[in-house]
Structure 1
Amino acid sequence: MQRRDFLAATLALGAGVPAAWLGYRHLNRPPSISLNKVGLPLAHLLRDGALHQAPQSQHRCRVLILGGGVAGLSAAWQLARRGRRDFVLAEGFERNGNAAAFHAGADLTAPTGAHYLAQPSAESTAVRDMLADLGIMAQNGAQPRYRDTDLVHAPAERLWYRGQWHDGLLPDNPDSRRFLRLVAKLKQARGADGRKAFAIPIVESSADEAWRRLDTDTFAAWLGRNRFKHPDLLHYLDYCCRDDYGQGIARVSAFAGLHYFAARANPNDAVLTWQDGLNHLAEKLRRRIGLRELPHFPAGTHWHGNPPAACAAVALAVREHERGVTVTLRHTASGQTVAVEAERVVCAMPLLMAARIIAGAPRYGFGGTLPEYAPWLVGNFVLHRFPQEAGKSELAWDNVVHGSSGLGYVVATHQLIRAAKPAHTVFTAYRAMNGDTPANMRRRLLDADAQALIEPAAADLLTVYGKAFWQCVSHIDLTVRAHAMTVPQPGYLHRADLTALRAHRSRIVFAHSDLSGYSVFEEAAYWGVRAADAVLDSL
């Protein structure tokens, strides 16, 4: 079977499990398997209106945060930092959202979502303040310093290219060198308004239409017009867009494609990472805030929330009125449903959910269409021993297969400072499912069972290690994120609905990376902090 045929077969998801896995199961005791389709079945019941039931009790609170991902936690951190601790956080469908992690044992964890944070640039003041407050940045100044234990250790990345490993992810060629020279210039480019052409958070970027005009076409079309044609460069750029945006160069905006490379402009590109990925930051935020993790709703009619509390609940309905905001909450474990009247609400959930549950959604800015969401498949392979490496190559933190439709795999234990390899590890394989339209790939993912998802999740690992890889695996944890991230398609900078939602101020304030049109930690943190400040100003 040719590689392209193999990958096409794995993307079918329902066509049967390939021979490598079947052969392993026949000759060996198969590893245990767990499958988490995030938010299901509750999310679809909510979508279909099947969860609406009369509240069993009535409650009041000052501030209610809807969503326990990075945006919601950032809002909670800012509220607590500025002295407002009487709030309650409803987690939503998943603790820590896209920063969640898989726990493989007492001392072994791995990300099921985002796995690193780039060093924040000068414009990302909210993230710099946060990292300083958490003790990760030793100095919050023009040139911040980070702890060595938080910066990715060498070797950071390698590329499987033509049957062997190579340092770095971009093969050298004239087009690649020309593109990198262009990026160096774009990092310093400014618009007529004096602002950086590309900045994070994206609202800090220049409004100069000479730059924003890049948002009218796809990245692939822009590359073609500018004669970037070398296949190795195009695959690398496609990989980068799939990694950050969930879709490749043929679907994302040219502005987004260049923004990926030019926005941060850090002198040192080493990223921050931990064994459990961004779950590490999320949990540190929770401890810093002093969140009480309640197994049930807070007791009493008045939810004082001091110290602040968090509970596993999802909002079924949100209605703003002259006295406050009435939110119907359903506990995701017990099923208990309550009505809460809050003075202020931070809506830190994805916009596709907010549009469905907020009464009178169009008056807040929601339009007829929402941004496209990319589906993801994340496979965590718990290993009782390390597989044999080809040649003399040393295992890196990030390992990418050239020409693959996957995104490679990261090694959870890479940051552990040891004289020898740990006895156990986890390889986390990422796949942005973009072999078809997001809607079609989403349907295939949701219809597939765990057996059908194993080979797509393991495709890059099998390319590198062959079927012998299965002999190292003791457990497979699969996570399906059907609406993992918004895709910055052409026109995303000019969406009227996002502009309106960003500017909206009432008893409801919005906070989610969706407001930026794409999903990264810095954007979520920015909107969370901004929402908290708006709430504090209004109170």
Structure 2
Amino acid sequence: MKRRDFLKLAATASLAGCSERLPWQAPPLNIHMPGMVLGHRLRDRLPTPNPTRERTVEVAILGSGVAGLFAGWRLAQAGFKDFCLLGGPEPFGNAAGSVAGGIACPTGAHYLPLPSMESTHVREMLAEFGVLRGDPHSLRPEYDERALVHAPDERLFIDGVWQEGLVPQQGVSTADQGQIQRFFAEIARLREARGKDGRRAFVIPLALSSADPAFTALAAETFAVWLSRQGFTAAPLRWYVDYCCRDDYGAGIEQVSAWAGLHYFASRGGHAANAEDGAVLTWPDGLQSLAQGLRTRIGAERGVEGMALRVREHKAGVEVLCFDAAKNEAFTLHAKRVIVAMPLHVAAHVVENLADFGFDKARDLPASASWLVSNFLLNRFPDETDPLQPLAWDNVVYGGKGLGWIVATHQWIRQAKPAQTVFTAYHALDNMPPQAMRAWLTNARPDELLALAQSDLKSAYGRGFARHAQQVDITVRGHAMATPTPGFLARPGIAALRAADRRIQFAHADLSGLSVFEEAAWWGEQAARRILGACRT
């Protein structure tokens, strides 16, 4: 297949993906670029058919990622019925999952840390789903054992051998070990630190963190600069901290602000009666299990296929021009209120007169990182070199190009390993500026994407790993998540959108600048509560 022909095929594939048998021994490869074609159509303002139908509702939620789903769930839970949920270009967004060879696997985020007391909204959701058992407001509730990550949970491939846990230990000098211990002692101090306003310095959701300048000033410098100022120069420590930032923010310590870097470590405070602190919740298909649970409780009758092209506020309500790509059909939604639950780089093209809300795209739009999420369907488990460090749920290569891989069948409860499994490899693409990286992804050959996707796996298992792969599905996310770069806490336009209480509400993790489940859910919760409050008055 010629390069030109492949790019043409990729441009029309969208959610369905494209398949191409590569030369020699490579497995069948599917490339998925969810939302890219429709997003570029929106960006380039391509013509759209005239609307052929209309629908009128009290409230329209635009986007079915975590923020939109959570807003819809909260409305439905309160007995509010007159609303609809517009699916957008990819149902569930960064919480999406898939199936390979009959095995459920993630194509987006794959775990949820135990929610702390401040994340009451998430605890209440988990209680309704039966994942959290008992009182969601108790300090140490019990969680469903099937959702708590099973042991062994983490391992690191370093100096040619596996070690338990991801903090480097193998071959680490005594001096470097001392720095690692001192770093975690500082994190323990910051976890309990409070500002002059009485709030904890670092909390999830971010909006409940202390506003004391003694802490927020840390957002003005990079995490790398802060680490150096504190004397944290040990290479193993800096690799680990960089890995954690790339894992949550899509960029490393040279790009991420010190406040965000410390927030990653100091904000988590969830506990469980039946799990150790630091445990996480996970499912074979990642967070799609939670997203699907929210969608089910909203009700299929409230779902609308399509994406918003234009949102226009007027005196009587809001008019939304929508496009259903599957039918190549445009239609109009009329609502008294709208929740814009989409990434801000999309909302900037969709919401007319966004500047009237106080948002300046050039000043306020956060940078966004690109990701690859690659699912390898294997006909057998690769041979492990060390029986004392068996395959874990999360497997990471020290100094690798990616963020390691998780095992989709790890949570299965059975006496023996299944015949097949799926390894899901993650890559945060931060080795060039975001715009340049998106341009590279648009033009990259399938074999280039595959080489990157399996780089860490080959480091651990050798070149023979590819022989076990029956199929590879690579999901390319050009705008996967907002990156909390220096200054991200002080964007006035973001603060304006958070506070907006007009006919148009905003709800997305971009309002926090941290692309994590609890943050997206928080803003969905806030938008829903405002609407419920307005309906009661």
TM-score under structure 2 length normalisation = 0.91
Deviation at 1:85, TM superposition (A): 1.9
Mapped pair 1:136 → 2:131 = yes
Residue among 323, 334, 338 paired with 1:341: 334
Instruction: Encode CA deviations 1:123-182: one digit per residue, 9 max, x unaligned.
Output: 001101111111110021222210111100000000000000000101241111110111
Report the residue type matching 1:236 in the other structure: Y
TM-fit CA distance, 1:257: 0.3
Are residue 246 (structure 1) and residue 264 (structure 2) matched?
no
Select 1:389's aligned residue among 370, 384, 387: 384
Shift in Å at residue 31 of structure 1?
2.1
> Hey, what does 1:190 align to over in structure 2?
194
Q: Of 324, 328, 352, which residue of structure 1 is paired with 2:345? A: 352
Report whether the alignment pairs 1:269 with 2:278: yes
CA contact (8 A) 2:49 2:328 kept: no
Correspondence for 1:67: 63
1:506 to 475, 499, 502: 502
1:116 to 111, 114, 121: 111
1:458 to 2:462 alignment: no
- Tell me the amino acid that sits aligned with residue 156 of structure 1: D
CA spacing shift, 1:448–1:244, aligned 2, 3 Å: same
In the alignment, is the contact (CA less than 8 A) between 2:49 and 2:329 conserved in 1?
no
* Contact preservation (8 Å) 1:52, 1:316: no
* 3-state SS in 2 of match to 1:413: coil
Q: In structure 1, which of residues 431, 436, 451 is the aligned counterpart of residue 432 of structure 2?
A: 436
One of 265, 277, 284 as aligned partner of 2:293: 284
Counterpart residue number, 1:12? none
Contact 2:121 2:525 in 1 (8 A): yes
Matches within 5 A, 1:308-323: 308-323=301-316
1:147 to 144, 148, 151: 144
Match of 1:43 in 2: 39
Amino acid aligned to 2:499? A
Q: Which runs of 5+ in 1 are unaligned?
A: 1-23, 293-307
Q: Shift in Å at residue 25 of structure 1?
A: 4.7
Note the C-alpha offset of 1:223.
0.2
**2:520 alignment partner in structure 1:** 524
Task: State how far apart, in whole Å, the 2-side matches of 1:434 and 1:209 are.
Answer: 29
Q: Which residue number corresponds to residue 416 of structure 1?
A: 412
The one-letter code sitting in structure 2 at the alignment partner of 1:382 is L
Cα distance in 1, alignment partners of residues 335 and 233 from structure 2: 55
- Find the residue that maps to 1:375 and give its secondary structure: strand
In the aligned structure 2, how far is the partner of 1:353 from the partner of 1:51?
A: 17
Deviation of 1:535 (Å): 1.2
**Residue 174 of structure 1 corresponds to which residue in structure 2?**
178
Partner of 1:159: 156
Secondary structure at the counterpart of residue 122 of structure 2: helix
Look up the SS of the partner of 1:340 in the other structure.
Answer: strand
Task: Report the equivalent of 2:224.
Answer: 220
CA–CA distance in structure 1, aligned partners of residues 46 and 99 of structure 2 = 32
Mapped contact 1:379–1:476 kept (Cα < 8 A) = yes
Q: Aligned-pair distance for 1:368?
A: 3.3
Secondary structure (helix, strand or coil) at the match of 2:454 reads helix
Paired amino acid for 1:196: R
1:55 aligned to which of 51, 57, 61? 51
Aligned to 2:88: 92
Which range moved further: 364-373 or 146-155? 364-373
Q: Which amino acid aligns with 2:324?
A: H
Q: Distance between the aligned counterparts of 1:333 and 1:404, measured in 2?
A: 40
Identity of aligned residues (%): 49
- Provide the alpha-carbon RMSD of the alignment: 1.2
AA in 1 matched with 2:111: Y
Q: Say yes or no: does 1:327 pair with 2:323.
A: no
Q: Is the 8 A contact 1:134 1:288 kept in 2?
A: no
Q: CA deviation at 1:496?
A: 0.4
Q: Distance in 1 between matches of 2:386 and 2:516?
A: 36
Q: 4+ residue runs of structure 1 moved beyond 4 angstroms? A: none
TM-score by length of 1: 0.91
**Offset, 1:310:** 1.0
One-letter amino acid of the counterpart of residue 413, structure 2: I
Query: SS at 1:509's partner residue?
Result: strand
Pairing 1:206–2:210 present: yes
**SS at 2:94 equivalent:** helix
For structure 2, the residue ranges without an aligned partner over 5 or more in a row are 1-21, 170-176, 272-276
**Over residues 338-391 of structure 1, what are the superposed CA-to-partner deviations in whole Å (9 max), with x where a residue is unaligned?**
111111111100011111111111011221321000000111100111101112
Cα distance between partner residues in 2 of 1:471 and 1:504 = 54
Q: Give, in whole Å, the separation in 1 of the partners of 2:326 and 2:159.
A: 49
CA distance, structure 1, for counterparts of residue 472 and residue 322 of structure 2 = 33
- How far did residue 311 of structure 1 move? 2.5
Q: Tell me by how many angstroms 1:505 deviates.
A: 0.7
Query: Take 1:222 and 1:53, find their aligned partners in 2: how far apart are those partners?
Result: 53
Instruction: Give the CA deviation at 1:450.
Output: 2.2
Contact 2:348 2:361 in 1 (8 A): no
Amino acid at match of 2:144: R
User: CA separation in 1, counterparts of 2:514 and 2:182?
Assistant: 27
One-letter amino acid of the structure 2 residue matched with residue 411 of structure 1:
V
- Separation in 2, partners of 1:309, 1:154: 40
Query: 2-side partners of 1:410 and 1:368: how far apart?
Result: 36
Deviations 1:62-82 (A, max 9, x none): 111100000010001000000
Residue of structure 1 in register with 2:74 after alignment: 78
Corresponding residue for residue 374 of structure 2: 379
Aligned pairs, how many? 497
